[in-house]
Structure formats: structure tokens, C-alpha cells
Amino acid sequence: MEIIGEAVKNLSLELKNNHSVVSWREIAGFRDKLIHHYFGIDYELVWEVIQNEIPDLLTNVTKILQAENI
């Protein structure tokens, strides 16, 4: 999740605006909380994200890559 969050920060604003179906800001913010241990790490939340959010993110990013011919 660290790598995903860091990668999101390096995407262009144009790409993020064109594909707002993904919660780019939330992904980057979650990465920051995880890495910097703000208020401790909620392992249940991390597991929930892995189970419920990552599969949807993968689907959306795959569609974005196809749409952008990347």
C-alpha cells in the first residue's frame, strides 16, 4: 500500500481529474497515515482495505490504463 500511495502522488493532475472514479487523495492520505503511524495503525482497517478496496482499485486502474493507452 505504501508503493500504491506513493505512485498516486506522482500521477498528473490531469489524469486524476479525468479519472475521478478513483479516490486518489484518499489513497495518498491512507499511505501517509500508514507510513507515519499517525494515531497508530488500525490493522483491521488495513485488512479491510486490502480485501475490499484493492480489488476495485485494480479494476479501475486497468480500465484507466486501457483508456489512456498506457
| Catalytic-residue membership of 36 | yes
Mark whether 25 is an active-site residue.
Answer: no
Where are the chain's structural domains?
2-67
Q: What is the pLDDT of residues 27-47, one digit of tens each?
A: 999 888 888 876 788 888 889
Q: How many CB atoms lie within 10 A of CB 14?
A: 8
- The residue among 54, 36, 20, 61 whose CA lies nearest residue 45 is 54
- The tens digit of pLDDT for each residue in 3-32 reads 999 999 999 999 999 999 999 999 999 888
- DSSP-H helix ranges across 1-70: 2-9, 13-18, 24-36, 43-48, 54-67
Catalytic residue among 19, 25, 31, 37: 31
**Residue matched to cell numbers 475490499:** 52
Task: Spot the catalytic one: 19, 25, 36, 37.
Answer: 36
